[in-house]
Amino acid sequence: MIFGQARGMDPSATGPADARWAVPGGPVSVAVVGSTGSIGTQALDVIAAAPDRFRVVALGAHRSVDALVAQALRFRPGVVAVGDPALASDLARRLPAGTEVVAGADGLAVAAATAEVVVNGVVGFSGLRVTLAALESGRRLALANKESIIAGAPVVARARRTPGAEVLPVDSEHCALHQCLRAGRPSDVARLLLTASGGPFRGRSREELAGVGVAEALAHPTWTMGPKISVDSSTLMNKGLEVIEAHELFGVGYDAIDVVVHPQSVVHSMVEFTDGAVVAQLSRPDMRLPIGYALAYPERLEVAYGAVDWRQLARLDFEEPDRTAFPCLDLAFRAGRTGDLAPAWLNAANEVAVAAFLDGRIAWSAIAEVVAATLDDYDAPPGGERTVDDVLAADADARRRAGTVVRERAAA
């Protein structure tokens, strides 16, 4: 199979980077980092269903060795990475002879650099190194780790300029936007409309949300996800982070990005063009579609994930987000507009606040308070072009500040 031939209707979709795909005689090599998590296992599902297209050459996980060994025995990658170095020797003992084992945060980055396409399904800020390793090696990055492009924006933007490097979003909304944007030129775009399910607390007032607990926050109506992103979805911080992600990915200004609540999660996002036309992407909620899109682009998979059955699609509702009950949305806009390292502060403060909520140390409504109080202390540090160390320092500073606010709130 030869990749990069425009078989579809959109020949303009094949760019200069596609020269890499025009290598006859073999599937595209894929590294899946965060392979034992929700995105990682679904990525392996997609790959297993298309063995003539994709081949797993590297797997990496933080510390789920049992699951990692089972995956390695099934997919037979040449490289297996484990984030926790203490687990490396146990892992090596259980893998087929000849498998290279790499360990630590560097090991995950090494694994990322081995393939033509890197799926980054790492959870949280620690995914930054994998993102940078993939882009600086000139790979296609199938990015599910939105934190890295948000918090690491100044350095990720630079790494994206590496020849061959490209980012394909593995986030249902951004995958939808990527598809919708193919309907026009960048100068024809009037607005990006990100849809939000509204989460489990849609329709509740600020007062009604004061006492909600962890189990309620984790009960997402349409998507099954990890605990961190489920809580982010309940506060609308996930949507706020996605606004920043959209700004970074597509270079659209914050005044031209809107959020629309759409409880059915069938319309995954929309692009409004200058002539008034709105182009939307619809499918049932299934992350394997965005994963497959990112792996196969500019081609499309032959396997249909989440195809819409019109006979069962009774109605599609749209409403304005409640910005008073869900203040995290505007906090994200504020950090995005401030720019530079403010999104790194937002992300770090949110990670600290969500962890404190999941541990039962603060109330759900205090998550936004912790983020707001932390952002109040943000000042752009001096200096010009940002480095990874600047991002790491911003992350550490914001975590320290947010930790103090959490202790104040917990004691109150």
- Residues of this chain that interact with Mg ion (CB under 5 A) are 171-173
Helix (H) or strand (E) holding 269: strand 267-273
Tell the smallest beta-carbon distance from residue 309 to Mg ion (Å).
Answer: 22
270 versus 363: smaller Cβ distance to Mg ion: 270
131 versus 172: smaller Cβ distance to Mg ion: 172
Q: On the CB side of 394, how many CA atoms lie within 13 Å of its CA?
A: 29
Residue 104 CA from chain centroid, whole number: 22
Tell the smallest beta-carbon distance from residue 223 to Mg ion (Å).
Answer: 8
81 versus 236: smaller Cβ distance to Mg ion: 236
Q: How far is CA 323 from CA 198, 238, 357, in A?
A: 11, 14, 21
Cβ pair 147, 62 in contact under 8 A: no
Cβ pair 185, 194 in contact under 8 A: no
21 versus 293: smaller Cβ distance to Mg ion: 293
Tell the smallest beta-carbon distance from residue 196 to Mg ion (Å).
Answer: 9
Tell the smallest beta-carbon distance from residue 238 to Mg ion (Å).
Answer: 6
CA distance 226 to 194: 21
Residue corresponding to tokens 């882009």: 135
Residue ranges in 103-209 assigned as alpha helix (H): 104-112, 128-136, 146-151, 153-159, 172-181
Tell the smallest beta-carbon distance from residue 24 to Mg ion (Å).
Answer: 36
DSSP reduced 3-state for 142:
strand
Tell the smallest beta-carbon distance from residue 265 to Mg ion (Å).
Answer: 10
* Residue of minimal Cβ distance to Mg ion: 171
178 versus 409: smaller Cβ distance to Mg ion: 178
Tell the smallest beta-carbon distance from residue 162 to Mg ion (Å).
Answer: 26
Q: Which of 346, 202, 204 is nearest to 264 (CA)?
A: 202
Q: On the CB side of 277, how many CA atoms lie within 13 Å of its CA?
A: 9
Q: How far is CA 5 from CA 11, 54, 334, in A?
A: 9, 16, 42
166 versus 171: smaller Cβ distance to Mg ion: 171
87 versus 259: smaller Cβ distance to Mg ion: 259
